[in-house]
Structure 1
Amino acid sequence: MTVASLAYQRILVPLDGSETAEFAIPYAADLARKHNAELVLLHLEYLPALTVEQSPDGPTHEQAQTHLTELRNQLHAEGIRASEHVIESRDLSETLFKFVEAERISVIVMSVQGRVGMLRWLFGNQIEKALGNLSVPLMLVRPVYHKIVVPLDGSRWSETAIPQAVDIARAHNAELVLLHIYQSPVSGYTAQIALAGQQDIAEQTYEQIHDHLIGLRNTLRSQGLRVREQMIRSNNPAQAICEFVESEEGVSMVVMTTHGRTGLSRWLFGSVAQKVVKNLRCPVTLVRPNE
């Protein structure tokens, strides 16, 4: 008996604007490489029956289109053929079925999680019936987090990201890495000023921060979590975070606050968080603390 090998030509990844839905993309990308197939990114947005306004839970049409274009460009940079589509619909499952047929999709690769759970989001309470109507294979991907990095700068603002990271780590039995990026206060000083005692003060500050970091680590360990701490000296926090995440094996997510030592304007709009989101391939969860 001869078993014919599968030949996927167009691989569909349905998305809802959430990071967990995008966990399916790397799996689909690997499949696309093996089959020299095209990856089709489809953002489906539910359009309420009585209004033309966008669903409040997800991105706007323009935001979704911009984000999908960025994802497509990233895939192109990796040598993968990709296209993107944003469709608003009052019947998501019917729209998906029609899209699969019209676009000659070979297989669907989809995360089981999303804003409300991808299967239920698409098919409502008729999941079994809907799956029976699919004309192509469906590959379901469950997000798994192995290691979660929490960048810190020594401020109470940055530490407000820790509870969010702890919740994710507990749910996935993941390791937490408390990453402190230490910016020396004497980095721009002359050697003479440094010799006048500033260097000693900087080292004392470093040790105090390190002790505090160990205290955080021990507190979390006492709660049954796997945690370790890491301190890096750098005057370019965004670059240091990205380089650490890229070099550290098994990082699944970065959880960081939009506030830091210098406030919202620096972390979110000025530099660090924006650059981290732009340059990292893994999901980044931004937490805005209550002031």
Structure 2
Amino acid sequence: MKTILVPTDLSPMTTYALDVAVGLARTHQAEIVLLHTVLYQLVAQPAGDYTPEFSAIMAENYEMAYQQAQQDLQALASNPRYAGVVIKTKLGSNLDGLIRCINEQPADLIVLASQGASGLMEWLEGSNAERIVRHAHCPVLVVKGPIEHFQPKNIVCGIDLDEKLKERHMYPFQLTDQGLQQFVYVLTPHDVHEPEGIRQWMDELALAKGIAHYQLSIWRAPAVAEGILDFADQQQADLIVLYTHGRTGLSHWIQGSVAEDVLNHAKVPVLVMRA
């Protein structure tokens, strides 16, 4: 891992993600890029009101906001507790689009901060959060709150039966000394798969990935997101790992509200990998 991208709205929550990113950067000798998109205010006006003077005022306001954001980003990057880690800053415009700004920045990992059940931070609410996870070009780590030392040891990985999961994946950081060992498949009332078939598929996945020892739990729940969250709580997990399946959408078991529910309601960080 060489580069960690931390998108920020410059709210106090930014430090949750940045603290984790700095810890990972120190371990992997990586650099961090702080990304902020500056809001360009588009004001609805009658066509005749768009005078050169009005346009000049809008441009001046944007320039002031841009300069302030530069100062705020630099102040954040210069925090003494981040000493020894290379933290670069990058500014974009909301006119460029958040997803485009993120995907134009080469990175091995994206770290985001989330408030949890009450919703993601203001600029990352609702569908924006899901879009970033779905369309990001690299793994995304969603941090739920302040973490003194991010060193997950009790990791739960949610699986479906997609064959792409059998491919070997490069994780952005080490997932314990033994790697992933605890897997959960959520069996909902409408799921027609038999437990024995699920276990056989998991055996094939373990063989394909070179996993010598693992534990598979088949967890019955009314909905997949609810099952993942309940199982993670029962196991006292300190990290949940999920998978996406390309730019066209998330896997069938983590579509729509499922992804949003897991990301918003999990009490622990969530790492979303691209399958």
Which TM-score applies when normalising by structure 1?
Answer: 0.44
Higher relative CO (CA 8 A, sep ≥ 6), structure 1 or 2?
Answer: 2
Larger Rg: 1
Which TM-score applies when normalising by structure 2?
Answer: 0.46
Q: Which has the higher helix share?
A: 1
